[in-house]
Structure 1
């Protein structure tokens, strides 16, 4: 951040040369007596006030009211409308002690009002007071600008990280099982990752996990866990067994060695020969299986990954029927704050999935949850379509659909 000049710089706008000289002597005498530095300039032509201020860069402007061509009251709004002069304090220095004129001056943007010529001690005290306030404002503005630049840089880095996470997600899948997804990263970057892949020609793995917290750390941990699942670090016989996968993840990511972070996960394996779905969940919201008009919850079977060395992860099993639809999701899909308090919740998500036709369901859920989220922030129904274009989510939104042929 560029250092702020500490020298008081006084610009006088007064058409009388004798006043300009008198003020110069008052300032010089006081600065000699009190110590300190002050630069001074006077301008007699009010038409040159803006140009002189731009060149001299005063910390305070002393200004007469009654001047030919352009009076001091008319100059005030010109300063306040100028990008580089709008914050410079202006002290009206005039021979009139008129309350109505004072009120008008303050209404137009004056910072102070003195009847000339004031006592030198008072004049210097006001110059120093307003100059100090102006420098403090410059320092605040510089700090805010530095903060804005830092936030913009951080946001750009977070967006890059979010784009990287998105690039790692699996593309839509067709064949024996159709798979697709929708992902909306939150403003602060969360820890959601998910995926699906054929372990071998018979077994399809599908999973979603959510690391605690927000930021680059949780995102990196999520990517690391995803890579462990799909990179070949685990043997195929491990990957087809949800219990062994969760045990391996719990051993690899103890929260004591990962800055206190843990994650939830739902991991399932579909065997297309037997049509059996095996799954285990570690503290994650249930996946939902839609079969006709019925909805079956596939609950987690144990607690979160990384919180304890002693860990058991039972595997549950069920038979998949033709045209079943399985939905995996993170809590960002349903933990949406309502305007009157509370959250939208799993029950509303269940009802929406039941009621909506299969075609276009992913986009329909995104649109509905976006509406709920924005209404919860007090945005009116008429403004929601425009607000939805730039809506920032509080948590990652991850929704995966598997359709079994």
Structure 2
């Protein structure tokens, strides 16, 4: 496939990608679009002209909406049909309906620089997992017993907790430093104030498609049909608040103040060619075999290169580009998205279109591949050196974190874009 638009040869937003998002312009309110190169294709315009449509959708528009939820709910057969049609419309070899209509092109193709991106979905529920073995091992080693870092359940099920959907924000949204109770001195009462150990977390998230009815679990054989697409996630964390509050019920105020996601949802179909075998979940690797409902025959892992960059206020003033502080890969996840979804619904819990599920921090074995400052600085004992003589253990006000990701194989590049956020002082 060759796009009729002028794209760089190494673009991660070519016809093999076509991620979906929600955008607005000065003249028009939020609606659904597809990114190709540095352009956004307005799906609401194509829908109104009958160029792109959804069979059986009736009179209710699918794309002239402020979220992708209606489209997510329609399922993989519809997703495939629309995606294939868009590839035809945007290629030199395909349909001329868009390519040869100057009027339609002017209305439907918008420069990326002229748009404002919004959350891609109305997120009813958000769940955060704990699916990276190395991250769980690092945290267990720091706070419990290095010889028994993983808790007994970790290799048997995808550990997770229910997060806060109302504070999920789109990339570029500032993050206010949270306040809360902390207990820096074990022998003194707790204190209240701004978090002093503010952190980021490198994660991969996915959006649920049709979902399931209450009381009807999603089986492994059908799990892939319920995953619409993927985004990058930064699940910000106030480590000092979390440490004091999490016993006995788990994360609360230390996590619920903000979760940032990238604006473009990369279709699951676009990442299918990058599936690889993950760590073996059987005795050959010294691991227990999961219970039957969690066993996954097809390749579980996604070969996605991930990076975390930090830009301080001093770097910004000096014109110094963000410094990459960590590089990881989604193959460092032990539990797959399908296993996360299946386990989430095995008790009959109903997942709904637009629900967001995140992987948990993704860390590799090397220190430079750790997905949080908690690990990169090893609980604050090993400061990171930055340009200009600065150091960091945790995040300071004015720091900007940028997470990026892409998959590359056989000359094909699929980008997940980036998710960024800047820390602002505690609200007075």
- TM-score in terms of structure 1 length: 0.22
Bigger helix share: 1
Q: Which has the larger radius of gyration?
A: 1
